[in-house]
Structure 1
Amino acid sequence: MDLPSTIARPVDHELVVKKSRFLAHLAPATTVAAADAVIARRRKELWDARHHCVALVLGTHAAGTPRTARSSDDGEPSGTAGVPMLEVLRHREVTDVVAVVTRYFGGVKLGAGGLVRAYSGAVAAALDVAATSGAMLRRELLYEVEVPVPHADAGRIDNLLRDWASGHGAVMEPPSYGSVAHLRLLVPRAELDALTADVAAASAGALLPDVGDARVVDVPVPARRP
């Protein structure tokens, strides 16, 4: 299942067009309340700016979860700010993100087309910053897997699973300990058979992974070269 990406932390970028400054601020937000808090904070921090235009997309877009999308021109001519910003978020396939672009007027009117290019360009450039700084998260549907291992073999199997996970798009989770060690990881559906085979080979058939439920997981994306 293809899911939209998101960001791990706030990202900022400044675009200057004919002396007008467009300060783009992207922040992670999973609820409307969280997005509203980001918007209110930017308004307070940059209180002397003329416009604080907004676009947000919320929702994992998995298992039938609906997505929420909103935008605001905040006094700019209708359709020249919020909607172009929102279209960039949609086109880049990101979610659980709020974008606020604050404008300081430079004295030169840009016209409708110029405003559309400036507001959309500011958000696009901020997303590029996120990609090149390692702030992007890839959202995936992964399966919870537990491998019960005798304590005597836990260290060896743990190292094997960590190496395996790095090459198969899986994510290790913290283990738990009882009468045996319970090693846990999150695995793509397409890799479940390979995991079972590799664990069996490493243990002479003594160990069998226990596959549980699927859940949406945010996986860090390596920084892209500028």
Structure 2
Amino acid sequence: MDISALLFDLDGTLIDTDELHLNAYNQLLARWDRSMDIGYYKANVMGFPDDMIFAGLFPDTPSAQYAALAAQKEALFRAQLGETFPVPGVLRILDYAKRCSIPVAVVTNAPRENATAMLEGMGIAHFFDAVVIGGELARGKPDPLPYLTALEILAVDASRALAFEDSLAGVRSAAAAGIHTFGMLAGLQEAQLREAGARSIIRDFNDAELWGLIGSRAPS
């Protein structure tokens, strides 16, 4: 396959942050003597934009208040960030892309402040040609707009790109944009990822299926 771009989700794909996000939501919800479990998080929160998340959590609250609630939650999340490490194989594939002059982008629903903190904390920010933030667009994931925007920025056709996602919203977004999407087995089952539109399933970026599709081993 002739690859002209690699597009990466951030949370749960490049870095394992699900536990930190769940903790942050529960710290926020505790103010109302409420909580969410991991099942609710995976089905209704992971990868979705803030307006959908907070509409589900606070259906009786005016939507004008969602932004403030989201900002509080994200501050709680960033307060937990210590030394951060990418998931296995991230440096391998980013180095491969750099050596082969393949442009790469992050496509995320995370706020830019979070994205910057995570990418810089992992020491990989310099690898990326673009960081597309769903919340800065008219529509975030699961709409295809974030991925279509990344393709436009990188001037690449969807048929020559690969996307990597761990959430249902993210897989739906990338697949709807016409991109061959790898579902990451970070928190969901293979059947769920495939139903959402993932064409390939991998556990991390060292997976043989990924390197087989790329058609080359990473340069040594």
Greater relative contact order (CA < 8 Å, ≥ 6 in sequence): 2
TM-score, normalised to structure 2, is: 0.26
TM-score, normalised to structure 1, is: 0.26
| More helix, by proportion | 2
Rg (Cα) greater in structure: 1
